[in-house]
Amino acid sequence: MYGKIKKRSGIVRIAFLLMILLLLTGCWNNRDLTEINIVAGIGLDRTEDGKVLLTVQVVEPAAIQTVSSGKGKGGGAQPKPVFVESFEGETVFEAIRGILSIVDKRLFFSTAQVLILGERLLQKGMVEVLDFFQRENDINYGMNILVAKGVTPGEILEIENDMDSIPAVYIKETAENTVSRGTVKKTTLIDLIKDIDSGERQPAIGQITKAGDKEIRTEGVAVIKDEKLAGWLDPYETRGYMFAIGEVKSAIVNIPVDKGKIAMEIIRSKGKAKVRFENGEPSTLTIKVEVEANVGAYEGRGRLDSQDDLSILKEILKNEIKKEITQALEKAQKEYSSDIFGFGSYVHKYHPEYWKKVKKDWNDIFSKLPADIQVDVKVMRTGIIKSPVKKDE
Amino acid sequence: MGKVRISSIQLFLLLSGFLFGSTVILAPAKGAKNDAWLAILIGGACGVLLMGVYAAIALLNPSKTLVDILEEKLGKVAGTIVAILYVWYFIHLASLVFRDFGEFICSVTFPEMPMVVVIGLFAAVLLYAVNSGIEVVGRLSELLVPLIPVIMLIISLSLFTVHDFTAFLPILENGITPVLKTALSFITFPFGETVAFLMLFPHLNQKEKLKNVVLISAIVSTLMQVLIFFRDISVLGSGLMDRATFIPHLTSLIIPEFNIEPLVDINLLIGGGIKISVCLYAASRALCQIAGINDYRNLTGAISTFCVVLSIWVHESVLDLFSWTEKVWSYYSLPFQVFVPLLLLLLSLKKSKPSNAGTANEK
Amino acid sequence: MLIVLAVFAVLIISDFLRFIRNKEPAKVFVIYTCLMATSLSISLLLAAGRRPSSPAQWIEAVFKMIGVLE
């Protein structure tokens, strides 16, 4: 009896183990790399009759391999590392599935590096089309978002570039190297969603233009108001805006001096936008920026060997940064009436009662408030040499 | 069955795992938005008291399970009826956790896998664990539950660079009422659900430590919840947090550069797994005791099958599930979690004075 | 539908074999059969696409009747 049971349980065990094999394959519908199209970049725009125009840049892994290994060998047409396709649809998701009528395999979006929004899309509002990207489970929330100025997203995605075999990666890298120039705002999907959600801060999205047949340029930002495109900031205004919200990591600011120009390298920067209140009403917008800088290059004929010299530089740099911030703020206030600086968020957090009353009209109130901009500059070092070459002395 | 023993550290981990349970994906106090931390603290304080009540009941009735206590204090007939209701409650609870788990996996990890397969496979594993005995589940918790805080730490630390530490401001924007309401639902989910442990407390080998174990685990999990809340709101902001289906999962999606989203699944597997195993054990043990069956393993199969079927049947959609748990669950739970235990505590206090020696009729 | 039946058949047969081997009392069979019959009938209804109103709805209705919920 015992032996029989033992024998039977042995068979059951083997059957069970064999059944487990079936489960080890993983997901219900597993898809191999060869069965999907890896999306690198997405472009969204509207057609003239209001439909969503989706453009995708898809990577061909096989072609990339031949590009990188087959360079110099010559001969034969090399396959392109990416292809770009566009499709129209009433909704974003419809376009994504509809595009399969011209694309062979299903699109895989987790790998998307950039999402480029078209001007025409932003003129009508972008919130609706962004819903899909929040809801779908394989979208990367850290994806970069850019607004194409003067071109359509499709034209941007269609460029072919020698620096990187995948143009979308090239675009993303240029947007991310803003850490060393501060002239474009790196906007990720989550940043944008948070700004739209809160209603306390109007989004500002990095701007992308075409700089030639093979290059793009990411500089400046698109100012959004009430989910629609309000206007643009140029690179210097963008940098002022970035100083004010404390996003500048490093940047080069030129300052004029008596005999030439000095390029100051900002190495650290902190910025805070607050609102000063008097008797329960906002009285002034205050922007406080603390900057640490080094002398990067002295393109002129001067002396630079005492603390006094540095103090003068400090004053000039301070005014220069202040000027950029003022320009950005004035444009946001007077021209676009859009609180991209997030003053509203400060008001909501620290004066919730007042915020409740003015939530709807905050952008108008913001536009009328005077500003107090304080810039605190420290110039620490001058690099390997002190003074530049002396010629006339 | 009387020889089954779990150590105090195992009970501590079981309780903590149970308290984390589906809260690792559902962020229980989200109704209070920015003030959820306040609701968590208030609810946690009451939850600690409530769990103290359960511990006191267990201490006043040593080596008796919930069914024994009910039958002794309320009389044979009324006690049996209430006990059967408890069996139903444990089954329902287990099936809700199953459903949370299934909805989560089907929403984010395996969107095309039928939910019944997800739940069924999970149930098969848990059935095996429960059939191996509660000591095995206890030892399993020793192995797995410590992973939960480690995973949370990993996620929190990797998000350190994207934090906005003032996101929880302003405090009490909408007044105190939503906070109190949320606090109430936070007591019933997850603290009150530990009433299922009244079937387990008799197994603890060191009775004198019971109170400490219960209180410490409740306090620890309250503090963890507060930390998780601060992490989530500083990453997501209150607007997105309000719209998210599974908040902690969304938080883990935001981590820059690398993707550790499956760690959330692991947390849910551990926490939810322990919660379901405890509920399954409690339900089958209670049912067997009521019916006078010696071995609870005889019914675990039937009960877990029923749980799986119920979990599919009970709600139509994910939104139905959420709105029901938000609206009805706390009221539905109150009698099971608060009224009956309080009544039992009062009766135990009254009766324990004359004769302290209740005969142990544990099987 | 067939898969549901097959799964239930496997579960019930394996458990019944165990019960018979261990010579369990009749009440085990009774309770087990009750639970499994309920599960089977509900899952057949669900598989057929006719979802009966669920306990969650009953509970909600009861609370509405008492007046706890509105």
* Cα–Cα nearest to B13, from B159, B109, B147, B126: B147
Chains that touch B (3 or more CB pairs under 8 A): A, C
- Tokens 């100051």 locate to A264
> What residues in A contact B256, CB-CB < 8 Å?
142
Q: d(Cα A359, Cα A344) in Å, to the nearest integer? A: 8
Contact flag C56-B328 (C-beta cutoff 8 Å):
yes
B20 domain residue, yes or no: yes
Give the residue numbers spanning the domain of B242: 8-339
At A281, list the tokens: 């009403």
Phi and psi at B171, nearest 5°, equal -85, 135
Indicate the number of domains in chain B.
Answer: 1
* Cα–Cα nearest to A237, from A250, A226, A223, A224: A223
Taking CA–CA distances from A113, the nearest residue in chain B reads B257
Band (B1; pLDDT cuts 50, 70, 90): very low
Segments of chain A assigned E as strands: 36-46, 52-59, 82-89, 106-108, 114-117, 144-148, 187-188, 204-210, 216-225, 228-233, 251-257, 260-278, 281-300, 371-379
Band (A205; pLDDT cuts 50, 70, 90): very high
**Residue A1 clears pLDDT 70, i.e. is over it:** no
Contact flag C27-B310 (C-beta cutoff 8 Å):
no
Chains that touch A (3 or more CB pairs under 8 A): B
Which of A56-65, A245-254, A296-305, B318-327 reaches the highest mean pLDDT? Answer: A245-254
- The alpha-carbon gap from A304 to the nearest alpha carbon of chain B, in Å, equals 38
Contact flag B305-C11 (C-beta cutoff 8 Å):
yes
Q: Where along chain A do its domains lie?
A: 31-233, 236-393
Q: d(Cα B308, Cα A60) in Å, to the nearest integer? A: 44
pLDDT of residue A78: 65
Give how far Cα B341 sits from Cα of A230, B96, B309, B350, C59, Å: 62, 22, 29, 14, 21
Q: Which tens digit of pLDDT belongs to each residue from A63-113?
A: 766 555 544 444 455 677 889 999 999 999 999 999 999 998 888 888 899
B350 domain residue, yes or no: no
ipTM summary value:
0.92
Which CATH code for domain A236-393?
A: 3.30.300.210
Nearest to B328 among C39, C52, C69 (CB): C69
- Ranking A16-30, A123-137, A208-222, B158-172 by mean pLDDT, the lowest is A16-30
B344 domain residue, yes or no: no
Taking CA–CA distances from A351, the nearest residue in chain B reads B170
Q: Which tens digit of pLDDT belongs to each residue from B108-121?
A: 888 878 888 889 98
B186 domain residue, yes or no: yes
Of A65 and A286, more confident: A286
B327 touches chain C (CB under 8 A): yes
B302 domain residue, yes or no: yes
Q: Which tens digit of pLDDT belongs to each residue from B135-162?
A: 899 998 999 999 988 988 888 888 877 7
Q: How many contacts (CB atoms, under 8 Å) link B and C?
A: 77
Q: Which tens digit of pLDDT belongs to each residue from B253-297?
A: 888 777 787 888 888 889 999 999 999 999 999 999 998 888 888
pLDDT of residue A73: 47
Which of A192-201, B57-66, B272-281 reaches the highest mean pLDDT? Answer: B272-281
> What residues in C contact B188, CB-CB < 8 Å?
none
Average pLDDT of chain B, as a whole number = 86
How big is chain A, counted in residues? 393
pLDDT of residue B295: 87
Band (B358; pLDDT cuts 50, 70, 90): very low
Q: d(Cα A253, Cα A297) in Å, to the nearest integer? A: 11
Band (A18; pLDDT cuts 50, 70, 90): confident
Band (A300; pLDDT cuts 50, 70, 90): confident
B358 domain residue, yes or no: no
- The alpha-carbon gap from C29 to the nearest alpha carbon of chain B, in Å, equals 9
Rg over alpha carbons for chain C, rounded to the nearest Å, is 17
Band (B363; pLDDT cuts 50, 70, 90): very low
pLDDT of residue A115: 94
Q: Which tens digit of pLDDT belongs to each residue from C52-68?
A: 888 888 988 888 888 77
Which CATH number does the domain housing residue B320 bear?
1.20.1740.10
Percent of chain A with pLDDT over 90: 44
Contact flag B301-C15 (C-beta cutoff 8 Å):
yes
> What residues in B contact A348, CB-CB < 8 Å?
169-170
> What residues in C contact B120, CB-CB < 8 Å?
7
pLDDT of residue A6: 62
pLDDT of residue A324: 93
